[in-house]
Amino acid sequence: MAHTTTVHTADTLVIGSGIAGLWATLKAADRGTVLALTKKEKSESNTNYAQGGIAGVVDPDDDFESHVRDTLEAGAGLCHEDAVRVLVTEGPDRIRDLIDFGARFTMIRDEHGERLALGREGGHSRRRIVHAKDLTGREIERALLNAVRLHDRVTIRENHIALDLIVRDNICLGAVALDRESREVEVCLASATILCTGGVGQVYPHTTNPEIATGDGVAMAWRAGATMANLEFIQFHPTAMYHPEAKSFLISEAVRGEGGILRLKDGSTFMEKYHPLACLAPRDIVARAIDAEVKQRGEECAYLDVTHIPEETLVERFPHIVSRCREYGIDPARQWIPVTPAAHYSCGGVVTDLYGRTSIERLYASGEVTCTGVHGANRLASNSLLEAVVFSERAVQSAASLARIDTSGIDVPIPGGDKETDDVSPLLNRLREVMWQHVAIVRTDAGLASATREVAAIRSEIENVYQRSKPGGTLTEARNIAAVAALICRCATTRLESRGLHYNTDHPERDNTNWLRDTVVANGEGATV
């Protein structure tokens, strides 16, 4: 093994520790040894920031067809119905599994006994959102982490960032990783690798995602030659708090579901001009409406008004949101909450089949890093946590059928050079501003062309620094952000229509004749769309 100091082996390598990664880790550990890599502390992930809940047909008055129909409608024609049906029909069992793992969801008691309290969010025709107050993701993370800690076949390596996948003859053998504390490069070999690295929000300057959401899995899989799809469809959450100290704090869609009203600075409402459901319209429509109104008036943000909702109701339903707002000097019971759209969720990513298999053998993926076909051109609220558990379960089932692979004698060169790392933060800031200006909520042909050129130039500079520098976590993340930005530009430039989360003013109409299909990018760096 050339140039390596530490080699780890396991039956399964899981990269990422959000709900998809923790579920995969738990279920794979029932079948063999698991090595799990996580960039920061175990609890830091997009899952931990998921406030609203997890959608599922658990009410006797609800039905699978209704959930399928709502998902397909939100996806603007691009959902893969077979994947949606897997999600919806297997979802309730996975929710029951979460309860068995110890997730404490909010309950209500009535004349029929105790049952799950179900919320409703934009795009859903029924109340089907299982939640734990407004901290659902954190509660799920807590329950799964506790279960992981009790498993003796799991090794978790914290503060480790995967640098690249190890692929030979289109077979994934594991990954090269960096211990961010010691700066030692380690080799992690496994019979199956499951990517659960989450989203790409840090491509943009305004995002609800934590700092670790740098698109690592998408970038690594792309460099390894995996097939990608639909990365033009970036969901912008319409209501992130507009405050300099609350850069990644979102105001859950459930707040509008409970009666929150969007207003402009003068108090006027505007959503009724954009959709019959007004403030309960799908996220893409709400985000574009806020963007248009704020830009037209030259204002910095819009406002979410919940002052008409009784204070005790707000505190009972949204304790975390109320508490955080008050920390920032805003009392939601008496003041409007300043909000702005922010990058929130990627509906595209590494293409997988119904069992999490990618185009690279022995490489699986689950969660936001993927394009399963479930979300189409726009994710339905609270389907993301459900997708993570349903498809992680299936990925582990598939990987369990694989024979163990001999990974001895594999030569793995260490990436990078031997110089101290240059500061690439100015390059990264420039790239993010380019993406926000030209490849965010509203796009144009000219803007996309300009962004494509600028991103390519910035990416080249970052890659040059990477190749000559000692491996570093921040530099690796910058490299990955630049790669993902290039992919987003590429997919967005290709789609000559407006659909779901992709809105191009030069092609404002939906074109089902030519574009009722995924934007697929295959065969690695030299590919065409």
Q: Which two tokens stand for residue 478?
A: 């910058």
The residue type of 215 is G
Residue whose token pair is 């101290």: 420
Q: Which two tokens stand for residue 211?
A: 């700092």
Give the sign of the dihedral formed by CA 174, CA 176, CA 178, CA 179. positive
Helix ranges (H only) for 183-330 are 216-224, 253-257, 283-297, 311-317, 319-327
Residue whose token pair is 């993370």: 141
Torsion angle of alpha carbons 347, 350, 356, 361, nearest 10°? 170
Catalytic residue (choose from 283, 379, 479, 495):
283
- Please state the separation of Cα 389 from the chain's center in Å: 14
Residue whose C-alpha is closest to residue 20's, from 119, 99, 137: 137
Residue whose C-alpha is closest to residue 38's, from 184, 179, 186: 179
Give the sign of the dihedral formed by CA 333, CA 141, CA 72, CA 201. positive
Largest CA distance in the chain: 70
DSSP element (H, E) containing 138: helix 136-149
Burial class (CB in 10 A: 0-12, 13-18, 19+), 384: buried
Q: In sequence order, what are the beta bridge partners of 419?
A: 469
Angle of CA points 395, 397, 401, to nearest 5°: 110
Residue whose token pair is 């890659």: 463
Asked if residue 53 lies in contact with residue 124, where contact means CB atoms within 8 angstroms, the answer is: no
Residue whose C-alpha is closest to residue 338's, from 405, 274, 290, 288: 290
Residue whose C-alpha is closest to residue 218's, from 487, 466, 467: 487
Q: In sequence order, what are the beta bridge partners of 189?
A: 9, 174
Q: Which two tokens stand for residue 43?
A: 């609890």
Per-residue DSSP letters for 19-46? HHHHHHHHHHHTTS-EEEE-SSSTT-ST
Asked if residue 52 lies in contact with residue 121, where contact means CB atoms within 8 angstroms, the answer is: yes
Burial class (CB in 10 A: 0-12, 13-18, 19+), 145: middle
Q: How far apart are CA 334 and CA 225, in angstroms?
A: 53
Q: How far is CA 262 from CA 287, 293, 322, 474, in A?
A: 11, 11, 17, 37
Residue 283 is among the residues annotated as catalytic for this protein: yes
Q: How far apart are CA 477 and CA 474, in angstroms?
A: 5
Catalytic residues: 283
